[in-house]
Structure 1
Amino acid sequence: MGYSGCEGAHHAKKKVSAMIEKQISGSVLTIWLNRPEVRNALNQKLIGELIVALTTVPDGIRVIVIRGRGRAFCSGADLAYMEQLGHYSEEENLADALRLESLFAAISRNQLPVIVVAHGAVMGGGIGLLAAADIVLAETLTLFAFSEVKLGIVPAVISPYILMKMSKSRAYEFMLTGRRFNASEAKESGLVTVTCVEELLEGVLNQYVNELLSASPDAIARCKEMLQEVSDRAGQVDLRQYTARMIADARASEEGREGLTAFLEKRKPSWFKALPNDETI
């Protein structure tokens, strides 16, 4: 990846782990989700590696970019990971949910500006990566969905980040129905900053990187801290504990277990109903 105008015009350096690939080009660190065989689905190891990558950034980096290898940016939670969670106790689920929240916090509260580049599909918890970021670019054919309600759970951990980024009306619609929505709708809702065709994506990314590199690093860090503090509402219930407890309760519930089982068995869950073909609301 070549960023025109980036500081330090040396060749990009790559470092690959089992789950992510880190690439440094000048002052830009690109973190690639590197599980293309499962559409970059999240599991404990990937979540852990992302947290480490985001909290141990090398000196001299001024912009972080997060992308996905393969056909999709992130398809949500890994199937094997979901099955494992189904056997966890409530306390184990709580600890796991707090770990996921730590990932979103590592993006949202990072002193450096974070850009996410989305393509293909972004589902469930993958949308949390977008909502926590400062700038989100999406290829025009990208599809999104909060699919949790279809599985008998709720998008709890990502909800504070979603409601800071997306209009409340759209958040209610998308979260309650679980329906797929396109990049244009994602932009209209506030989740996505810019949409463009694949051929123009790199150029748009370069423009944003160069704008960020033209600004004071200290001012950007202070501005991010200010925006975060203004957004936080004093005196509220601790949302981290509240949302983590909510998803832990949902995963351990009867419908949560039924939804996961039905998904793994590729059948409709017990609560699924549809209107007859000749009936409308």
Structure 2
Amino acid sequence: MPEAGQTAKSFRATRHYILVRISKTGGDSATPKWVRGAGGVPYTEGEMPSLLIRHEERVLRLTLNRPEHKNALDEGLCRDLLEVLADAGKDRSVGAVLLDAEGPVFCAGLDLGNALLPEALDAELIHEKLFTFGLHYHKPIVAAVEGPCMGAGLGLLANAHVVLAAQGSQFGLTEIRYGSFPFVTFRPLALAMGERRTAELAMTGRLFSAPQAREYGLIHEVCPAFELEDRATHTAQHLATVAQESLRRGLDFVQKSREMSWQTAGILAAEMMTKTHRSGDYAEGIRAMRESRPAHWPSLDLK
């Protein structure tokens, strides 16, 4: 959240979330940490949004904020995640997304409170979109996990491009324990961990540790809890400031080539490499390397 002395200016709000842009200069130290609407009306403790959003420099931080429900994903939170991610994908001022959570539990999975109601079918369609979103996203998504992450929470991780977890975090595909199966998250999880491993975890519902999650391919790095936020933020900031045109084209290639034959993917690779090597970012990268200086990527010029 914004620190004392920072200015929080709201430029978007809904029932579930508030988007604030943080300024390091000016402002009143008494400015509310989270505000809503153009007038900057502060949220009361009892109506805090279930998704906190903070836009700092080129990183958009999304924080699951239902700690009293172990950050379980209800329909409203799923809708908001989808909407914010879609908006961020079109916003040139956002270079990377960082996903984390408030409270001791990262995510308990889907909120089962309305699981047996007729409108649950619509929720299932939302879940299908949410848990395959990262497979088609052209901006890097970083996830920082601390505490238990269960069921559909793993689907969020499988859709992130880089996942860091604190030591002591636990994971599990626990749907089988209440008579279900991770249908909507199975495909992205199988891409991350392999089909046989994902099926085994789904059938047994067993819990596994952060080192095991790294071994299986679900996460990339395990670190002490006190280092998690700094490492995740540094990773997101780095990804937000690399050559953006090359990064977007690279993610596009990863996604398109996934379903291609080796021959077709090779043709696409040659086409994309040619386009990349004709770009301003590539020319600047070569000049910077020859001149032993940091590159100033044209794709980061937002004017």
Shift of 1:36: 0.9
Contact 2:98 2:233 in 1 (8 A): no
2:278 counterpart residue number: none
1:44 counterpart residue number: 75
Alignment partner of 1:66 out of 96, 99, 103: 99
Deviation digits for residues 2-57 of structure 1 (CA, Å, limit 9, x no counterpart): 9xxxxx99439966762101101101000111111111101111101111111112
| Correspondences of 1:75-94 after superposition (within 5 Å) | 75-80=108-113, 84-88=114-118, 93-94=120-121
Contact 1:15 1:21 in 2 (8 A): no
Contact 1:14 1:22 in 2 (8 A): no
Deviation digits for residues 211-236 of structure 1 (CA, Å, limit 9, x no counterpart): 313421111111111111122368xx
Distance 1:113 1:94 in 2: 30
AA paired with 1:128? G
- Work out whether 1:11 is the aligned partner of 2:24: yes
Contact 1:10 1:26 in 2 (8 A): no
Deviation digits for residues 168-215 of structure 1 (CA, Å, limit 9, x no counterpart): 342132111001111011000000011101122133223322431342
Contact 1:164 1:231 in 2 (8 A): no
Contact 2:22 2:55 in 1 (8 A): no
Distance 2:22 2:80 in 1: 27
Distance 1:87 1:76 in 2: 18
AA paired with 1:50? L
AA paired with 1:148? E
TM superposition outliers: structure 1 runs of 4+ over 6 Å: none
Distance 1:14 1:136 in 2: 27
Give the SS at the match of 2:183.
coil
Contact 2:145 2:166 in 1 (8 A): yes
2:188 counterpart residue number: 161
Structure 1 length-normalised TM: 0.73
Alignment partner of 1:35 out of 66, 69, 78: 66
Contact 2:97 2:236 in 1 (8 A): no
CA RMSD of aligned residues (A): 2.4
Give the SS at the match of 1:138.
strand
1:205 counterpart residue number: 232
Shift of 1:140: 1.1
AA paired with 1:29? L
- Work out whether 1:194 is the aligned partner of 2:209: no
Deviation digits for residues 243-275 of structure 1 (CA, Å, limit 9, x no counterpart): xxxxxxxxxxxxxxxxxxxxxxxxxxxxxxxxx
Distance 1:77 1:25 in 2: 29
Give unpaired runs (5+ residues) of structure 2: 3-20, 26-32, 37-47, 262-303
Distance 1:196 1:175 in 2: 26
AA paired with 1:85? A
Tell me the matched-pair count. 223
- Work out whether 1:105 is the aligned partner of 2:132: yes
Distance 1:30 1:69 in 2: 12
Distance 2:35 2:96 in 1: 17
1:22 counterpart residue number: 53
Distance 1:163 1:14 in 2: 38
* Identical positions, percent: 28
Give unpaired runs (5+ residues) of structure 1: 3-7, 235-281
Give the SS at the match of 2:131.
helix
- Work out whether 1:127 is the aligned partner of 2:151: no
Distance 1:202 1:165 in 2: 23
Shift of 1:59: 3.5
Give the SS at the match of 2:132.
helix
Bigger RCO (CA 8 Å, 6+ sep): 1
Distance 1:97 1:79 in 2: 12
1:185 counterpart residue number: 212
AA paired with 1:202? E
